[in-house]
């Protein structure tokens, strides 16, 4: 059985939690960093993108979706 987190929250915060290792995939908002400083918002997860992620997970295309969301 696989478990996923699709959140409008910050992905790095979720990955830093103690339960993150139990999940097959985590999607969330990200910042672009440069030299250890946050420069701008890299991506956000809207309600529409959450729905896309859920359909992709259901079809087992989560790796393809992950690449498209992080562009």
Instruction: Tell which phi-psi region holds residue 26, choosing left (phi > 0), alpha (psi between -120 and 50) or beta.
Output: beta
Q: What is the pLDDT of residue 40?
A: 93
Provide the whole-model pTM: 0.70
Give, for all 71 residues of the chain, the pLDDT tens digit: 788 899 999 999 999 999 999 998 898 999 999 998 999 999 889 999 899 888 888 877 666 566 656 54
Rounded distance, CA 16 to CA 1, Å? 22
Q: What is the pLDDT of residue 59?
A: 79
Q: What is the pLDDT of residue 68?
A: 59
Q: What is the pLDDT of residue 37?
A: 93
């Amino acid at each position: 059985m696989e478990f996923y987190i699709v959140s409008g929250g910050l992905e790095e915060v979720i990955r830093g939690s103690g339960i993150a290792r139990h999940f097959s995939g985590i999607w969330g908002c990200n910042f672009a960093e440069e030299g250890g400083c946050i420069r701008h918002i890299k991506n956000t997860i809207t309600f529409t993108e959450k729905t896309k992620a859920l359909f992709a997970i259901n079809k087992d295309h989560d790796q393809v979706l992950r690449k498209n969301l992080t562009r």
